Amino acid sequence: MDIQKKIVMSGIRPTGFLHLGNYFGAMKNYVQMQDDHECYFMVADWHSLTTHPDTKALKENVHRVLAENIACGLDPDKVALYCQSHVYETAELYLYLNMLAYKGELEKTTTFKDKVRLQPDNVNAGLLTYPVLQTADIILHRASYVPVGKDQEQHLEMARNFVQRFNHRYGEVFPEPVAFNFGGALVKVPSLDGTGKMSKSENQNATIYLADSDELIRKKVMKAQTDSGPTASGMPKPEYIENLFLLMKLVSAPDVVKQFESDYDQCTIRYGDMKKQLASDMALFIAPIREKAEAIRHDQRYLREVMEKGAEKARKSAQQTIAIVRESMGLNYF
Ligand code: TRP
């Protein structure tokens, strides 16, 4: 891989199904970055063990995430697409970083506190040190850019703290990683029920998954909340209507959106027609991804090749970093 290129790293946990929010928040960015950056994209299977100790569905989920990423346009020849558990060097770096992470700051992490609330009977140490493992994933490749959604900002801030401590104690080894989004602002992909955003596990009826059939997409979109329409020109849109327009801008042609905007302004908008249009454009958008992912998912030989090739690229970069880390930490006894 080209050393001049900026290094990019990101991960997706194999828990639940990928949806339009993942597509526009993460995968679309990955695809846009793959030509002029050195990219490492990983399936975070170890991270999933902190919340999903039952591994019955793990293999299938890992395969699905890989297949969906490739179906969205990620090219395993251009990027390193791999599984976290195939790159053992991650565990070594995680161990070193654990000595630089303090219990107090880990306990204060928002995602940790959320998960303690969600699974009070399984507050394991892996959950506590989740941000440490994530930092290891990133700096294992000495990556500078991390394409992630807004919910990961705190983890990135912690990663920068751990990097600063490491560099301060053992020498300037790592760049400080920053969250990155291609178009600048983070895109909002609202859920269909007018509140919040699309989600891997909650709100399934208001989330459009990349694996949803045309029929299911239509059903979910047609159920979205509307009202009897604006009664005066220039009326502001209620949030649930604004969200339909936001979604339409993501998947429909600009002149289609413009037509409905103007219908809204003139109070002639028919929300039934708008939802039918939105459903049909979403289905057109998702169908090719779904079909491609489905084909890849069942091609075990191809998936194995992808994982092997990805692990090889990732481990090459990881081993270089680990050699530098050991040297700078004084763990070189020969
Ligand atoms: N914590 C991330 C999430 O829940 C997933 C993840 C694991 C990740 N390792 C990473 C993201 C490294 C970016 C970089 O979405």
List for the chain the helix, strand, coil content (%; round to 5). 55, 10, 35
**Residue-range domains of the chain with CATH:** 7-188+299-329 (3.40.50.620), 212-293 (1.10.240.10)
Closest alpha carbon to 191 in 235, 236, 224, 161: 224
Span 210-232, pLDDT tens digits: 999 999 999 999 999 999 999 99
What is the amino acid identity at position 272? G
- What is the Å distance from ligand 1's center to 109 Cα? 14
CB of 146 sitting under 6 A from ligand 1:
yes
Span 105-134, pLDDT tens digits: 999 999 999 999 999 999 999 999 999 999
- What is the Å distance from ligand 1's center to 13 Cα? 7
- What is the Å distance from ligand 1's center to 148 Cα? 8
Reading the chain (334 residues) residue by residue, the pLDDT tens digits are 545 789 999 999 999 889 999 998 889 999 999 999 999 999 999 999 999 999 999 999 999 999 999 999 999 999 999 999 999 999 999 999 999 999 999 999 999 999 999 999 999 999 999 999 999 999 999 999 999 887 899 999 999 999 999 999 999 999 999 998 776 666 778 999 877 888 777 788 999 999 999 999 999 999 999 999 999 998 999 999 999 999 999 999 999 999 999 999 999 999 999 999 999 999 999 999 999 999 999 999 999 999 999 999 999 999 999 999 999 999 999 9
CB of 26 sitting under 6 A from ligand 1:
no
- Angle at CA of residue 229, ends 225 and 230, nearest 5°: 130
The CA distance from 267 to 28, in Å, is 35
CB of 137 sitting under 6 A from ligand 1:
yes
Pocket test for ligand 1, best of 23, 83, 148, 151 (most atoms within 8 A of CB): 148
CB of 63 sitting under 6 A from ligand 1:
no
Residue nearest to atom 6 of ligand 1 (CA): 11
Q: Are 10 and 43 in contact (CB under 8 A)?
A: no
- What is the Å distance from ligand 1's center to 135 Cα? 9
CB of 11 sitting under 6 A from ligand 1:
yes
Q: Which two tokens stand for residue 107?
A: 């306990």
For the whole model, what pTM was predicted? 0.92
CB of 44 sitting under 6 A from ligand 1:
yes
120-155 per-residue burial string, b: 16 or more CB within 10 A, e: under 16: eeeeeebbbbbbbbbbbbbbbbbbbbbbbbeebeeb
DSSP for 126-195?
Answer: HHHTHHHHHHHHHHTTT--EEE--GGGHHHHHHHHHHHHHHHHHH-S--PPPEEE-TTSSPPP-B-TTSS
CB of 148 sitting under 6 A from ligand 1:
yes
CB of 115 sitting under 6 A from ligand 1:
no
pLDDT of res. 183: 65
Q: Are 308 and 79 in contact (CB under 8 A)?
A: no
DSSP type of residue 100: T
Nearest ligand 1 atom, CA 155: 1
- What is the Å distance from ligand 1's center to 11 Cα? 4
- What is the Å distance from ligand 1's center to 41 Cα? 10
Pocket test for ligand 1, best of 8, 27, 127, 137 (most atoms within 8 A of CB): 137
The CA distance from 260 to 278, in Å, is 11
Catalytic positions, written as ranges: 115, 197, 200
The CA distance from 41 to 68, in Å, is 13
- What is the Å distance from ligand 1's center to 318 Cα? 17
- Which H or E element spans position 9? strand 6-12
CB of 278 sitting under 6 A from ligand 1:
no
